Amino acid sequence: MESSTGAQNKDAAKRVAVARRGASTIALAPKGKPRLLLMGQRRSGKSSISSVVFHKLPPNETLFLESTARIQKDSMASFMDFQVWDFPGQIDVFDNANFDMDAIFGEIG
């Protein structure tokens, strides 16, 4: 029999997975809306950090997250509206012609 904490953790992991699947349809951030870009080497914990901080996933459940295959964009609306962009570690956006650098970094000062 599964404990209620275990069931809650699985529910939280499912919510994160559903949010990530739906996030790929979000358009670019509106002008002036801040972005948090999570970039780094693969398997370094970018998606895990985002899931724990913004989706309240218990840290021990991050072991079961799938690898990020494409840029995941999550809109956050807490005390401040912003977007979190989680980049896959296996893709080098600086060497890939498929990425629009102005769309990603255009509003950075």
Contact 107, 31 (CB under 8 A): yes
Give 16-61 pLDDT, tens digit per residue: 554 554 444 334 445 667 899 999 999 999 999 999 999 999 999 9
* pLDDT reading at 88 higher than 80: yes
The predicted pLDDT at position 50 comes to 95
SS3 54: helix
What domains does the chain contain, in order, with CATH numbers? 4-105 (3.40.50.300)
Average pLDDT of the residues of the chain? 78
More confident residue, 55 or 92: 55
The predicted pLDDT at position 99 comes to 80
Contact 19, 55 (CB under 8 A): yes
Contact 42, 48 (CB under 8 A): no
Q: Which amino acid is at 70?
A: R
Q: What is this structure's pTM?
A: 0.67
* pLDDT reading at 93 higher than 70: yes
How many residues in total does the chain contain? 109
DSSP symbol at 83: E
* pLDDT reading at 81 higher than 60: yes
Residues sharing a CB contact under 8 Å with residue 59, sequence separation 6 or more, in sequence order: 48, 52
Strands (E) across 1-109 are located at 35-38, 72-77, 81-86
